[in-house]
Amino acid sequence: MSVTRIPEAQEYILHWGEMGSHWGVNRSVSQIHALLYLSDRPLHAEEICESLSLARSNVSTALKELQGYNIVRRTHVVGDRRDHFVAELDLWDMFMAIVAERKRREIDPIIARLGELSERMAGREEIPGHVRQRIGRMHEFISTLTGWYLQVRGLKKSTLIALMKLGSKVARFVPGSSTPNN
């Protein structure tokens, strides 16, 4: 019996689906994720179809997508040869997995593209300086942010959580940042 019978779980699933679509994630994909997240046992595709009234094929595609994000994985249930699926339950790991995949899909190609553009424009006097500069700056900016992310991502989970709990207190360790605000 599925969590779908619980009105609050239903709401959660619908809301999660809604949210996904505002961040470029297919609604079915995020709904299925929400369902698996709330389920206390592995579900097979058929069950997901029924619970969310989605087409079998749709569920198949969505599950592949979720596995691509590394936030859902296949398992097997004894005496049942169908694939079953469970969601990552550690929210920190889930979050990091999503960020990593979005970076790979969305950010890395942008950096590559901006890099090409910058290089292609370098030294060409017929192109206004401000255009070259601004595209260059954008490239630099995104690269810097991404570099920071890569470094921080390499830290232990516990360290990261400790840093987060520190909040704005981290500023104490930056020389010459005595005034608290902008």
Partner DNA sequence: CATTTATTTCTGTAATTTCCGAAATTAATA
Partner DNA sequence: TATTAATTTCGGAAATTACAGAAATAAATG
Q: Which residues bind a second copy (CB under 8 A)?
A: 3, 6, 8-9, 11-12, 15, 19, 21-24, 37-38, 40, 89, 91-92, 95, 106, 110, 113-114, 117, 120-121, 127-128, 130-131, 134-135, 137-138, 141, 144-145, 147-148, 151-152, 154-159, 162-164, 166-168, 170-175, 177, 179-182
Helices (runs of H) and strands (runs of E) counted in the chain: 8, 3
Stretch that binds DNA, among 76-84, 104-112, 146-154, 174-182 (CB under 7 A): 76-84
| Minimum gap (Å) between residue 30 Cβ and a second copy | 12
The pairing of beta strand 72-77 with beta strand 43-44: unpaired
Task: Give the single-character DSSP code of 175.
Answer: T
Distance CA(153)–CA(145), nearest Å, equals: 12
What string of DSSP letters covers 58-96? HHHHHHHHHHHTTSEEEEEETTEEEEEEEE---HHHHHH
Q: Which residues bind DNA (CB under 7 A)?
A: 21, 26-28, 44-46, 53-58, 60-61, 63-64, 81-83
